[in-house]
Copies of this chain bind each other. A is one copy, B any other.
């Protein structure tokens, strides 16, 4: 199996002026920013869109959203919103006026400008799993608390796979590092091990400012250069229903004031933190998200914002969150319609409830990933490596998900549906004739290398050949690939002086005590 895993295979059919980084344990698709040309699936009628919009506006106007952040309250008051204690009500005219400032698309440029991503329009980009507290791999064989070493390995996978366009939060929470300095170590690792767009948590002033500084340093940027355009992003959740806490809003305000991007993703679980009806859960999510995006646009018109969706349903039996369900898919598609209604870029996720990287994990993940495609999602968070409703990061699942994500990107290659004369291929059909075989024809030989998607973890051999090779299942094949990628991984180039400056910054901030841990 190790031998097979190391076999070099041909790419997935893309060519052109893209870049390739890292070693070649597998021959993967080239880095590119996929364009989703499928017309979105739109379960809501125009009246349905209007009903969700009106519901969200009535929540903002009549019910109000709680903001615990004092600065936010002052800003809302200044903007003319009705602030009663921590409850903020805002008129739909003001909200829509603010939303009109938000860009429908923008770029984020990480330390390697060739890894710049475009968020919005028809682009669909994929990010690694973020924030599981636990880790599971086939070698350990059980669920364990995350460590910095595991986190770094998952960052290596994030960098390695060209189909992964950006980092999320910690791919696993390194609980072996004290919470006061954890962000320093992980962002250092992230800056060293990856050159892709990075995320930072909005968990208090120190964490988000430290992260911005480290991204600035890694990019070799002055403060003006850093603030001139987005180089990173933060992602926040609301405290559904109807509430935003202190540090998340603080972090977003800090980001947008320094020109960085924010994603606002309410977690509205139907039947728990949200109405049991999917339209109700989506409406609540939209209201919670728009309340902050309107604020950010008030503070800095044109600030790069993304509306996120994380609406799913509870398991009726256990109350646990379920993912990749029919309800999840429809909520994602409905949110896509609303994001287009507000002309905002959108974020969704690749998710599952399964406890191990087997059949259930992959049908749930496939459901969620296809609903991202169907909804016109621009950013797919957690697209690789997520298990157990986000409580476990799994490297095997990461590898398996990357196969699915690569297939989705290949699916978007216009070559597959081209209908020029050479594609219709009448001459080849005539030449081969009845009962013939197309393999030997010039038409086939000219196109063979790029014609079809080439998998790296799927095994397409017949049963006998597969059995002779050890009858190895998908997760185990993925595990071998994981070890192989780690063994040959090379970090992306980084100027020595910048690396030192990052190290010095971390040392200084650690000496200062890092960040408070009392939030």
Contact = CB atoms under 8 A, between A and B. Distances in A.
A433 B475 contact: no
A380 interface: no
B438 A276 contact: yes
A157 interface: no
A407 B452 contact: no
Contacts of A425: 55, 275-277, 279-280, 283
A241 interface: yes
Interface string A273-299: 111111110011000000000000000
Given A362-B366, A392-B463, A435 B63 contact: no
Given A271-B448, A276-B443, A434 B243 contact: yes
Instruction: Find the residue from A271, A276, A408 having the highest chain B CB count within 10 A.
Output: A276
A408 B62 CA distance: 37
Interface in A310-328: 313-320, 322, 325-327
A393 interface: no
A280 B423 contact: yes
A436 B273 CA distance: 7
A313 B451 contact: yes
Q: Please tell me how many copies of the chain the complex holds.
A: 2
A317 B460 contact: yes
A124 interface: no
A243 B363 contact: no
A270 interface: yes
Contacts of A360: 362, 400, 403, 457-459, 474
Contacts of A423: 277-280
B438 A275 contact: yes
Nearest to A9: B317
A320 B460 contact: yes
Instruction: Find the residue from A65, A317, A334, A359 having the highest chain B CB count within 10 A.
Output: A359
Contacts of A457: 360
A217 interface: no
B419 A452 contact: no
A442 B54 CA distance: 23
A296 B362 CA distance: 42
B422 A277 contact: yes
Interface in A409-427: 410-411, 413, 416-420, 422-426
Interface in A141-175: 143
9 contacts: A241-B434, A242-B434, A272-B438, A279-B419, A280-B429, A318-B460, A320-B462, A355-B467, A366-B370
